[in-house]
Structure 1
Amino acid sequence: MKDALARRETLPVVADSAVAPFTPAQLEERRIVRHDMADPRQADAFRDLRTQLLARANGAGVVTLVAPVSRGSGGSYVAVNLAAAMVFDETRTAILVDCNLRSPVLHDRLGVTADRGGLVDYLEGRITTPETILYGTGVPRLMLVPAGGRREASGDLLGSQRMRQLLHALRTIGNGAPIVLDAAAVSSAPDGRIVSELAELSVLVARYGRDSGSAVRETAAVLDPAHLAGVVFNRVP
């Protein structure tokens, strides 16, 4: 299938865009795929997922939600590696947004110290410029908007007009770079459903052997069927 992200994107230089890239050993330790892995199966799986999603949306600035069925299904793992696969080509960029305000992990996984604040700070109005919360990561050309703090009552923030404004701004800043949203488990909070209304595509993540077929169907029914791209089964033997 033809990769729909044919155009080349560039992101503006931000304060920490020159973060030292992870070594192959560090990527392996953090379970992040790279294009030249000795065993290419994981990288190929995410490359194929990337290509199919971008082809469905014609690639230009597509916003994709990644949401797990339940806690521990591996949603953040899939979100990070989908975004990492999007920058396998050295001429491409991608933006990852940590919308899991209940249990954010992406800043740790991607080696980001969110000293300028994050998504919560922007949505609560303490930060007014989106560029401030856009950080370089240990994966070259992959930018992160970290959560910036934990919020149990996060649905109102994620469904706010400021969240919509942020995504619009990131499309402009990224010159059409794809945006991946990592959300909390759909079965445990309304956040995934709320964020799905902001995305063109949604990917549901189920843990093989743990999330039952009925749980997957019930969770999928919560999301807009017109935008549901499919289900990724994580930890398949």
Structure 2
Amino acid sequence: MSKIEKALKRAGEERGNLQLVPAAAAGGRTAPWTAIVGQQIQVPETISRMAENERKLLSADELWERGIIHPQHTGDPAVQVFRELRTKINQQSQEQNAVILVAAVSEGNGGSFVARNLAAAFALDSAKTALLVDCNLRNPSVHQLLPKATLPGLADYFENPEMDVSRIIHPVGIARFRAISTGGLREIPGEYFVSMKMRRLIESLRERYRERFIVLDGPPMSDIADTRILSELSDYVLVVARHGRTTNAQIESGLNAISSRKLLGIVFNDEPRIPWIR
């Protein structure tokens, strides 16, 4: 058994089977997460207040152009994949908010694509909110979702001790979805991730909305130091590899930076059909 298989097996034994399953389980039984269909969902007051501050929402076509899922994209199988991935995380977290690090094995594996769409999947649930945080300092991309790339972000927050965290959280044009970019063009030292202020930031974001899921768009796992630090600040880690391009040796090397206890699984991007998790 390879190191990858051992890590996934150990994660499954410690935290339950992480294989994505169809809506109808074997024997015609309904999968656990379909039980809420038809039930009335009470929207928390905090989410109702968020709606009052939404910027103009993007259309399904605009989201398609940005590579982000939307419930109207009925012909896009990725919508169902990310919804099922969201469901598995909900089951693991027992519906409690969580911090999820999304880390690609190497640059170009599609980690940011998976991170933004996982956040979008959480935002599709009217009883939850999502926050996407750009932690990929060398190749940031979250600013592309904001109305202005120069809006305050992590760099501004770390450099200004008096800045309130609310000033770096911005709407992206998707209901119940907020984002934090890296900020201006200034370079952010990686040492910020090990600072107490980073730890306090994560805790503040977690406590701000109890129904909020925080997705960290992390650096490639080849940056072992930052990956290890961010994984320690997270509840779960989702690894992204590119089908037919990422080698087993690269995946095994990346897994060395994280605890198998936190490993959700590996998303293989660019498979012949759709992204999938194993």
TM-score, normalising length: structure 1: 0.90
Deviates more, 1:204-213 or 1:165-174: 165-174
Letter in 2 for 1:69: V
Q: In structure 1, the residue corresponding to 2:178 is in which secondary structure?
A: strand
2-structure distance, mates of 1:117, 1:195: 21
- Is residue 44 from structure 1 mapped to residue 75 from structure 2 by the alignment? no
- Is residue 129 from structure 1 mapped to residue 170 from structure 2 by the alignment? no
Letter in 1 for 2:233: L
Taking the TM superposition and a 5 Å limit, the aligned residue runs for 1:17-166 are 17-108=53-144, 110-149=145-184, 154-166=189-201
- Is residue 182 from structure 1 mapped to residue 221 from structure 2 by the alignment? no
Runs of 4+ in 1 over 6 A off after TM superposition: 3-7
Shift of 1:27: 0.7
Instruction: Could you tell me which runs of 5 or more consecutive residues in structure 1 were left unpaired when the two chains were aligned.
Output: none
Q: In structure 1, the residue corresponding to 2:212 is in which secondary structure?
A: coil
- Is residue 211 from structure 1 mapped to residue 211 from structure 2 by the alignment? no
Instruction: Check the 8 A contact 2:102/2:111 in 1, yes or no.
Output: yes
**Identity across aligned pairs (percent)?**
35
- Is residue 224 from structure 1 mapped to residue 239 from structure 2 by the alignment? no
Larger radius of gyration: 2
2-structure distance, mates of 1:189, 1:69: 10
Question: Deviation digits for residues 133-169 of structure 1, max 9, x if unmatched?
Answer: 1101121110111111456663211121111111111
Change (3 A) 1:33 1:170: same
2-structure distance, mates of 1:152, 1:210: 30
Question: Deviation digits for residues 83-112 of structure 1, max 9, x if unmatched?
Answer: 00011123321111111121111120x233
Shift of 1:38: 2.6
Instruction: Check the 8 A contact 2:155/2:183 in 1, yes or no.
Output: yes
Aligned residues: 235
Instruction: Check the 8 A contact 2:128/2:211 in 1, yes or no.
Output: no
Q: In structure 2, the residue corresponding to 1:211 is in which secondary structure?
A: coil
1-structure distance, mates of 2:42, 2:186: 37
**Other-structure match for 2:33:** 2
Shift of 1:11: 4.7
Instruction: Could you tell me which runs of 5 or more consecutive residues in structure 2 were left unpaired when the two chains were aligned.
Output: 1-31, 273-278
Instruction: Check the 8 A contact 1:103/1:150 in 2, yes or no.
Output: no
**Other-structure match for 2:236:** 201
Instruction: Check the 8 A contact 1:112/1:137 in 2, yes or no.
Output: yes
Deviates more, 1:18-27 or 1:41-50: 18-27
TM-score, normalising length: structure 2: 0.77
Shift of 1:226: 1.1
Q: In structure 2, the residue corresponding to 1:197 is in which secondary structure?
A: helix
1-structure distance, mates of 2:236, 2:35: 15
2-structure distance, mates of 1:23, 1:163: 34
Change (3 A) 1:3 1:219: farther
Shift of 1:80: 0.3
